[in-house]
Every structure is written in structure tokens, then in C-alpha cells.
Amino acid sequence: MSVRGTHDRPFGLFWLALGLAIAFESWRMPRLEEQGINPYTIPGLVPGLLGLILGIFGVVLFFRRAPMAEGVALEGNDGGVAEPWRVALAFLLCVGFGVGALGHGPPFWLGAGLFLFLAIILFEYPDHKAAGTLRYGIIRAALVGAIGAAAITLIFQEIFLVRLP
Amino acid sequence: MFEGLALLGQSMLTFAEPRALVYTFGATLLGILIGCMPGLSATLAISLLTTLTIRLPAGDAILILICAYVGTIYGGSRSAILLNIPGTAANAAACLDGYQLAKRGEAGRAMGIATTGSVAGSLFGIVCLAILTPALGEVALTFQSYEFFWLALFGVMMSGSITGSDPLKGWIMGILGLFVALIGQDGIHAHERFAYGDPNLAGGLSLIPTLVGAFGCAEVLTVMGERFKQARVYAVDSILPRISDVLKYWKTVLRSGVIGVYIGILPGVGEDMAAWSSYAAAKRASKNPEEFGHGSVEGLIAAETGDNASIPGGIIPALALAIPGSAPAAVLLAAMMIHGVKPGPMLMIENPSFVYDVVAMNVYATLGILFFGLFLVRPLLKILTVPRSIIMPIIFVLCVVGSFSIAQRLFDVWTMLGVGVAVFFLRRYGYHPAPFVLGLVLGDLMDKSLRRGLVISDGDLTPFFTRPISAVLAVIVIFTLVMSIPAANIAIRRAVLGIFRRRAA
């Protein structure tokens, strides 16, 4: 579910701060005078302008009275209900796999297999527990994890000749 | 003209060999399967496949991407009709009548109509692609930095205005995308911007991992964070489309095709808007508007024709101007650049056969959706029964591998994750990622165009506002901005109404 309209003020401040920071850093950027470049081509010109525009938009967002009318539904927002524990678990697993596991020791196939197994079983745990099918769920998750990791490793490494992390 | 036809014939023959046909049908099938699965968008499909096809020859890789693009948009109608959940955002309009038809026991008929509408829309769009791209390319030859600056800005502003529910948030995302595109070496002096001595940042954030993060990782986090009810899939009757359904609504097909192509050409406005606009226009023109939303065949045809017609429509400006018409077209444009193709006004001079290759690829993709739509409906529906708790983790592993495969560096995986987490949060607060993608793709063009324009005019800003096309684009951008200010919007509307009333009196 989307949470919209009620957080415009803090976001307005955030965009203002980010915009000003970008503009300030662009201002500090070298003008390359020693290279004799045309002053209209200084590297900080466009990012500086973008920073100022972002800051102005932040101010408008902060001060505007009410959000605009809601229209087209967000992509992917198709009726699902976000649950905090699921969101937290998704973060933990994805960041853990992407930052923690990759390139830090375990081979890719093992990391991917473990990630798939844990993601599937943990997200399906409440349903399997309620239905009394936990053993089936564990076996299925392990199979999907093993087959999925093996297939991805094989396809990328042997067919697409990609070196895996 | 005859030269164009000869080139088109040659392109059609090029892709009529076994390997290309395997790629065509394989990629279209993959696209349909991805499209069937709610939550997986065309942008994600093309981003992931770009990473997979990075080592293939340019022609094969782009063929696969276009077939997957067409297949994904078409495949989304399956879940829209059977589950009342649009497979992609483009198919949301198809839910209204498609699902009602399925509830009446006419799911097969609805899918047949969706197939017919999609094929008709694609073919109409392809004709426009073949005719308009060279024409637009010729006009674009007169463009200078001033026009390209406004076109880039126009694309981002239009995308921001229309794709989300709040234009201001869309513009913020667009500006953010433009800024992120500027990180790394600048395109004129090769000076490192916002790198702070980090060699990874000095090269800039890679486009494809950033796109995979914005549309793949963010989507995976969104879907994995949500609990879904077990969907009910309705039984399927005969899927063969009735000729009477098609012939009866030829005007709707034509109108929706025109709207789809027009909206596709508008920079940054995607297939979803084409479907909704076609649907709304069909309802206004219909003799039975009360049936819309209650299982109207006309409504379903309009929505599916509109969204598929906008695919070639979105490719037209991508090829002729290097300005993508939609978020998936932006990824396609990036993929073309990665494969050494240089879209833009010079394309018709340097590589004219490529435009006709793209036309031919679209034709084969359309044949693919016709084939799978008519003959493989029931097996394809099996994908709808696969739980998302299994699909999404696999997609995430593919996002990781895809991001890594571009340059074999972990920094790209972290980029994908960072962008994905940021977009996940921003989406929850109403910030749509499509303008961000447009900004990302157009940032370099806008940066170079503004600075080159200023050099040519010696710092004089007037050419940005006085050259005819620049002036039109500038007026549209400024008008869009002004109209978004509620007080100005009301004042302008009152003034226009006042003028009309005085004339009427």
C-alpha cells in the first residue's frame, strides 16, 4: 500500500537540503580556467542548475496546501497489503545476499541457493504452519533453491560466459 | 519510398532464418510469461534481458529485447482478464472489461479479443514506425543543441506530469534522474563530477544496474513485502477471436491505434497512459458507454489496441531523436547504445537499414504474440499458478547476476541494491520511477546540449526561446509547469472560459 500525501513536508525539506548540497558542490567544482575552456562549459553548470531546481521543488512541496488528486495507480501496486515483518525480512535477505554474501567467501551457487531456500521458506512459513504442511514447504523450498541456483549458475557461467561473483 | 520498401524487405528476410526465429519466439514467449506475472514490468524484462544478451551481436540482442517488450505488454492482459490483476501497468485498463467477461464465463473470448486488439495495435504502430521514423529523422537533422536541450527537458517534464499521480513528485524524480546521470566524468571535458576520488564513481553509475535496481529490485522488495490472497483463475472457453468482434469495432481499433502511437511518441509517456486514453476515447465515442466496465468487448479492444500501438510509437522518437517515448523504450535505447548503435537524427544517414530492422523485429514479435495467443493459451496459464514467493527471490538473484555481468564488478550490484531500496521507499510515498529512468537516459544529452548551445550563442539565451521548434517546446514546458500551480491553473482556466463565454454571447 502506498503512503502518500502526508509526508510532503519532511520530503520537501529533504529535497531542499539535497538540492542545496548539489548546488553548493557544483559551485565548488573546478572551473578549469587553467585549461582555457569556454566558461559556458564549466562542469558544474548543469548539476548546479539541477540542484537549484530540486531545491525550489522541495520548497514548493513543503509549502503546498494539499497533494494533487490521485490518478493512475502505481506500477506493482495491485492490491497487495504490505506487512512490516515481510518488508523487513525482504530487506534483510536481499541486502544480506547482495552485500554480505557475494564476493565474501561462499561460492555464488551456494549463496544463491541459500538465499532462495531461506526466502521461499520464510515467506511461506505462516501459510505452511497454518495448513500443517511445513515439511512439504521445506522440501519444496530446498528443491527450488538447489535447482534454481544450479540453473542460474549453469546458464550464466556456461552459456552466457559470465564470470559470477 | 521504394528504397525504404527494399530495405524493409531485406530486413524481413534477414530475420527469417532459423536462429533469428528461435530468438523471436523464445523471447516473445519469455516476455508473455513475464507479463503474465503481476509485478514484473516490461522495463524490468528488458533491463534483465539486456544484461543477458550483452555478448550477443547487436541485431540478435535487440531482436530479443523488442520481442520480449511486445510479449510482456501483451502477456499482461492474461492476468488482467483471469485474475483482475494487471500483469503490467499497461494492462490495468484491460481489467475493467476483461475480468467481467471472464466472470461471465467468456475468459477465452476475452483473451481472443485481447490478442486481436494487441496484434491490430502492433501492426498499426509498426506502419507508423516505418513511415514516421525516417520523416522525423529528416526533420531532426535541422535540430541543434537548443532543440535537443528542450527535447530532453520536455521528455522528463512530460513523464513527470503524466506517469504518476502527482506532477511535482514526478518532476522531482526526473531531476533526480538527470542528476544521477551526471555523476562521473562529464561528456565535454572528462572532468570527474561528484566522484570524490572514488574510481567506481568516477566512471559514473552504470545505466543498466541502475535501471535493474529501479524496476527490478524495487519491485521484488514491494512484492515480497506484501501478502497476497490466493487468486481464482476463471475457466477458459474458446480463445479463437470472432471475426465479427473485430470487424464491428474497426473504428475503435483505428482510433485506439492513432491514440496509442501518438501517446507512444510523446517522450516519457508509456503504454499505460495509451491504454487508458484509448479506453476513455472509446467510451466517449461508443453507442453503448454504459457497458464499459461491465464486460464491454469494445472497451477491451480499445485498451489492448492502444497499449500495443504505443510500443512502436515509443520507439519512433527513440530511433529518430534518441529521446525515448516510454520507460521500456528508454532501456531499449540504452541497450542499443551499449551495442554500438547510435540512435538520433544521423541514424537514417549512417545506418538506415537499422530502422527497417527494428520494423521487421516488431513484425516478427507481433507474429509471435499471435501464435502464442492463439495456440498456447492453456499451457501459458500455468504460470499464473506459480506462487510469487518462489518467483520473486529468483528474479532477485537474476537482478544481482545481471547487474554484475555488465562489468564484473560488485559496485554495480551495490548500485542496483542502493537504487532499488531508494526507489522502493520513494514509491511508497508516491514517487514514480519512470521519470527517474527518463532523466537517467537523457541527462547526458541535456547536459551537453545546454553547454554546447551556450558556447554556440556565446552565452546568449535567446536562441533557446526564439528558434521555432525550441520556442514551441519551451512554451509547452513552461505551460506545463505553470498549469501545475493551482492558483495559476484556476486563473488560466477562468480566463479561457471567460473568452469562450464572451464569444458565445
Interface contact flag, B182 A53, Cβ < 8 Å:
no
- Number of Cα atoms under 13 Å in the Cβ half of residue A23: 15
- At residue B247, the pLDDT reads 80
Residues 6+ apart with CB under 8 A from B75: B31, B32, B33, B34, B35, B36, B87, B88, B380
CB-nearest partner of A116 from B223, B393, B428: B393
Higher per-residue confidence, A91 vs B484: A91
Closest B-chain CA to A108 = B401
Residue B248's φ and ψ, nearest 5 degrees, are: -60, -35
| % residues pLDDT > 90 (chain A) | 58
Question: What digits encode the pLDDT tens for the residues A12-69?
Answer: 999 999 999 999 999 999 888 888 888 888 999 999 999 999 999 999 999 887 654 4
Strand partners, A82: B226
Q: DSSP for B280-327, please give it.
A: HHHHHH-S-GGGTTSS-HHHHHHHHHHHHHHHHHHHHHHHHTS--SSH
- At residue B414, the pLDDT reads 93
Q: Which DSSP symbol is given to A73?
A: P
- At residue A50, the pLDDT reads 96
Residues 6+ apart with CB under 8 A from B19: B60
Q: How far is residue B100's CA from residue B59's CA, in Å, rounded to a whole number?
A: 41
User: Which positions in chain A touch B168 (Cβ < 8 Å)?
Assistant: 57, 60-61, 64, 68
Cell output for B393: 527471490
Please report the sign of the dihedral spanned by the C-alpha atoms of residue B437, residue B438, residue B444, residue B450: negative
Residue A64's φ and ψ, nearest 5 degrees, are: -70, 155
User: Which positions in chain A touch B172 (Cβ < 8 Å)?
Assistant: 15, 54, 57-58, 61
Cell output for B301: 479492444
Q: How far is residue B24's CA from residue B20's CA, in Å, rounded to a whole number?
A: 6
**How close B384 comes to chain A (CA, Å)?**
15
- At residue B239, the pLDDT reads 63
pLDDT band at residue A77 using 50, 70 and 90 as cut-offs: very low
Q: What is the pLDDT along chain B (505 residues), one digit of tens a residue?
A: 567 788 888 999 999 999 999 999 999 999 998 888 776 788 888 988 888 888 889 999 999 999 999 999 998 888 888 877 777 878 888 888 888 888 888 888 888 888 888 999 999 999 999 999 999 988 888 899 999 999 899 888 887 877 667 889 999 999 999 999 999 998 888 899 999 989 999 988 988 889 889 888 998 898 888 876 655 666 666 666 666 777 888 899 999 999 999 999 887 777 888 898 899 999 889 888 888 888 888 999 999 999 999 999 999 999 998 888 888 998 899 899 888 898 988 888 888 899 999 999 999 999 999 998 887 777 777 777 788 889 889 989 989 988 888 788 889 999 999 999 999 999 989 898 888 988 988 899 999 999 999 999 988 999 999 999 999 989 988 888 887 777 777 888 888 888 888 877 7
Per 3-state DSSP, chain B is made up of helix, strand and coil in percentages (nearest 5) of: 75, 0, 20
Q: Which DSSP symbol is given to B231?
A: P
Higher per-residue confidence, A75 vs B361: B361
Q: Say how many C-beta atoms besides its own lie within 10 A of residue B190's C-beta.
A: 10
* A 89-118: CB under 8 A from B: 89-91, 93-95, 97-99, 102-103, 108, 112, 115-116
Cell output for B483: 498549469
- At residue A71, the pLDDT reads 41
- At residue B358, the pLDDT reads 95
Q: How far is residue B307's CA from residue B270's CA, in Å, rounded to a whole number?
A: 8
Across A91-112, average pLDDT: 86
- At residue B113, the pLDDT reads 87
- At residue B123, the pLDDT reads 93
**How close A105 comes to chain B (CA, Å)?**
13
Question: What digits encode the pLDDT tens for the residues B139-160?
Answer: 888 899 999 999 899 888 887 8
User: Which positions in chain B touch A156 (Cβ < 8 Å)?
Assistant: 401, 405
CB-nearest partner of B189 from A32, A99, A115: A32
**How close A119 comes to chain B (CA, Å)?**
6
- At residue B228, the pLDDT reads 65
- Number of Cα atoms under 13 Å in the Cβ half of residue B19: 6
Closest A-chain CA to B43 = A75
pLDDT band at residue A70 using 50, 70 and 90 as cut-offs: very low
Higher per-residue confidence, A158 vs B142: B142
Lowest mean pLDDT among A140-149, A152-161, B308-317, B432-441: A152-161
**How close B284 comes to chain A (CA, Å)?**
19
User: Which positions in chain B touch A90 (Cβ < 8 Å)?
Assistant: 220-221, 224-225
Interface contact flag, B224 A148, Cβ < 8 Å:
no
